[in-house]
Amino acid sequence: MEIATKLPGKIRDRYAPSPTGLQHIGGIRTALFNYLFARSSGGKFILRLEDTDRARFDERFVQNLYDTFAWLGIRWDEGPDAGGPAAPYVQSKRTAGYQQYAEELLAAGRAYPCFCSAERLDEIRREREAAHSGETGYDRRCREIPAEEAARQIAAGEPHTIRLKIPLGETTRFRDYLLGDVEWKNNDVNPDPVLLKSDGFPTYHLANVVDDHLMGISHVLRAQEWLSSTPLHVIMYRAFGWEHPEFCHLPMVMGQDGKKLSKRHGATSIDEFRRQGYLPEALINYVALLGCSWEEGKDFYTLEELAERFSLDKLNKAPGVFDYKKLEWYNGQYIRAKTSGELAELALPWAVEAGLFNNGAKGAGPSAEERERFAAAMPLIRERLTLLGEVPGKLGYLFAAPPVPPAEEFFPKKADRSQTAALLRLGRGLVEALAAATDDEAAEQIVKAAAEKEGVKPGDLLMPLRVAVTGARVSPPLFGSIRLLGAQASGERVDRALAALSV
């Protein structure tokens, strides 16, 4: 493992997730800000997989990470699948180096072997809990074992870990770009944490510090929840005699109840947002606003525009509040910016999954005629859409005749059954002309003329006709629906409704 060259003034930052779960909003926001910072400064954005937690590691989560960022359009300059001068970028493939650096601290007297068993550590915890003690962490029992005795125990094959020797009675100071000067008493730092486990695998802290140094990371941008780990990392950098990166702890992402965003607030994994039908550009645009101030009067940015404009000075100290309604608004705006053809292609997977085509065959693709009708229907619903997942529910009536609703659904205000049937018969006589009308304006004139002639309100005339054709009192525009269905299919639905009303 060779040290990567850190060029003066050259920005190198990274996203270093642990593949133990699905990608979520908080992680994506961290990755996005690192990406934007690197792009805005002409630097390098690096992906590193911190997979030292082998018990929770799952290859599915690695694939989820790749799939998520491919969908978002965010690409790293160096990483497991891209290579680079500091390869490998997967921590489980770098274990020999971590052992080397742990031994280096051991030899320098800045770390020590610990022979305490897991059972003893559990017993310490239980005793403290029983005594309601405020003490936490390791009791440093092995810290004062003479070097000769420790060497003898190691030579005898006794299982052991390697722990960092935290300098006691001191204060660790560092500067955070956003939070300013930070001071932390060493006595409040995790007491002599494990660096190397008994199986030779590093802990998160050792691997993180060693890799950031060897990969030439100049800036560490991460969520403020990691702030309590930073004094420990600074102590480790100084123990090695290395210069630590610049730190910038990003504002938290909170729910509207003021608590850290979690599943109780709704969807947080990116997979859930994708399943519901959010667009990647809407998600990126909105997430970029969480804890970051941009330009007055401008709400919409492409990924490229965000990269051009980003700077750490735009970050806020206050947490960003995740507002699902605001995200839905953004998504709706991006949907409305799509052409009918683009929107149809984006929405097609949801329609196929819902069984919209081929007489309700779930998973079946559309025929050529159905595909054409599907695309032609996009203008009817574009203004009403928030999510792509809503498309099948709004357009189902165009591909299969809906059940005839209860009679009361047809009734205009203050109309009874016989009056409604008369209105529907009047509407039935207009179907052919409405299907042939070139546009909505022409169709409106047809309805107005018929309503005026019969002395009824146009709205009263259209209500039962709408319910007969679409199956609902609230639906996409009726005139466009009749044109897409055609005179025959529309007429047949009205005839079914008339039969039901006359029972």
Length of the chain: 503
Q: How far apart are CA 22 and CA 282, in angstroms?
A: 20
Q: How far apart are CA 118 and CA 476, in angstroms?
A: 65
First to last CA, the chain: 84
Burial string for 247-265 (b: 16+ CB within 10 Å, else e) reads: bbbbbbbbbeeeeebeeeb
Radius of gyration of the chain (CA): 32
Whether 465 contacts 427, CB under 8 Å: yes
DSSP secondary structure letter of residue 315: B
Q: How far apart are CA 130 and CA 264, in angstroms?
A: 32
Q: What is the DSSP string of 30-70?
A: HHHHHHHHHHHHT-EEEE-B----TTT--HHHHHHHHHHHH
Q: How far apart are CA 224 and CA 220, in angstroms?
A: 11
Nearest alpha-carbon partner for 481 in 354, 334, 381: 381
Q: How far apart are CA 483 and CA 287, in angstroms?
A: 40
Quick one: tokens of 28?
């994506």
- Neighbouring residues of 80: CB distance < 8 A, sequence distance ≥ 6: 47, 49, 88, 89, 90
Whether 471 contacts 403, CB under 8 Å: yes
Q: Which residues is 404 bridged to in the sheet? A: none
- Neighbouring residues of 11: CB distance < 8 A, sequence distance ≥ 6: 37, 38, 41, 42, 43, 44, 218, 219
Active-site position among 263, 317, 362, 457 = 263
Q: Which residues is 292 bridged to in the sheet? A: 315
Q: Which residues is 180 bridged to in the sheet? A: 176
Told to judge if 44 belongs to the known catalytic residues of this protein, a careful annotator would answer no
Q: Cβ–Cβ contacts within 10 Å for residue 496, how many?
A: 15
Q: How far apart are CA 249 and CA 396, in angstroms?
A: 48
Q: How far apart are CA 424 and CA 440, in angstroms?
A: 20
Quick one: tokens of 397?
């009536």
Whether 227 contacts 164, CB under 8 Å: no
The CA-based dihedral angle spanning residues 76, 77, 78, 81, taken in that order and rounded to the nearest 10 degrees: 60
Q: How far apart are CA 306 and CA 222, in angstroms?
A: 19
Residues annotated as catalytic (active site), given as ranges: 263
